[in-house]
Structure 1
């Protein structure tokens, strides 16, 4: 669905010095996405339809986008949530990632890029899931820090029964700094390498209860944010701009779990997110 937005979406991206390659930067600017993270709660009826929902803050949306979200959310259908063999009404925290692309005529094409439905209200103890033990932040890459570059790395890690990281890889690296194709590729490598070095030293607390407690390993997704001193993360309800990672990385050892988990774009910017099937399985496409 397409909307004409009467305001500039997002914040201005920091730009790297490029000299004679300014044309390359102009071309790369076409990859920039303006994005808004919308948070709220959703209530799912026993038949999987949406019984009710509430958004936390709609001031950044405007009437057209509110109407778009209302029509889309009420059309969603979920796998019924079953408790003790009976389909029940279930409530969950919800996050929706909206993405806007500028059009040649000055308008904006808006779509839902990702959704996330939290699990903290399902009554299961925290010990049912892998949790962080010691997760030391990575060292900010020196060159990226000198340039004032910022970004977020999504890591996928396999955790053994001793809580140590058995295997870890980069799922994607989104940037909040604009440069040439070569500059941004270098920044993605620097952020990815720094995150991997740190992640290999991390330890976790394996599940001790629940149906997955007996497994020999667990898969988790961990966002790693690189943010310059004095800067802050955008909050739900605030438009921002970023450059999504154009690389499609295939992680064979986690492929099936990643397919079920979906995009990480609607996740909070920090935390440990198990790649386990959620109770809240959206059956139809998020919307566009």
Structure 2
């Protein structure tokens, strides 16, 4: 968001530049209005100015093993990006297929998380269509994640007051109901170092990044389970 800061250090005008939806935009504005800033100065005097601010959220634990860890929306030229309107998660295990259920039992036994990145198009009505698996730690997790995402609803991209179709993607992790933020960050830290975003596995295309040990941090390093061959990797 872009924030206009007055001479008194208070936020006077707040503009959302990258909307997420789900009521988080309003909560972010509410929070920033209570912040105080060091105003700009000229010739020793405080003057009004502006700055860009990002707001992070820590959400309450939910009764699902699915976790949204990354979102990508693309805006049409000269238009606004899509935003979330409704994102519900299945309660309990949230697994629908027998093969995924067996994989889930394995993941639970070794304390790991699974990952799937789903691409889709958001049509003019805000409905995700053309859902597809872009990456997955194991093949079974793509269809499972699609079953979750296909029920979500979005505010469509807009241009000149008209809704337009736009592409989007989300990455979901499946694992413990209360997923430590550091674990999700560690997954992305590993993926960001793996190279191009193609192929099976984590965000960087490395299949060994598909399952992340959920409870074994060592300093600033994490133990990552590599399915084949089976051994532990220390990554940071």
TM-score range, shorter chain: 0.3 to 0.5
Provide TM-score, normalisation by structure 1.
0.32
Provide TM-score, normalisation by structure 2.
0.39
Query: Relative to total residues, which structure has the larger strand share, 1 or 2?
Result: 2
Which structure carries more relative contact order (alpha carbon 8 Å, separation 6+)?
Answer: 1
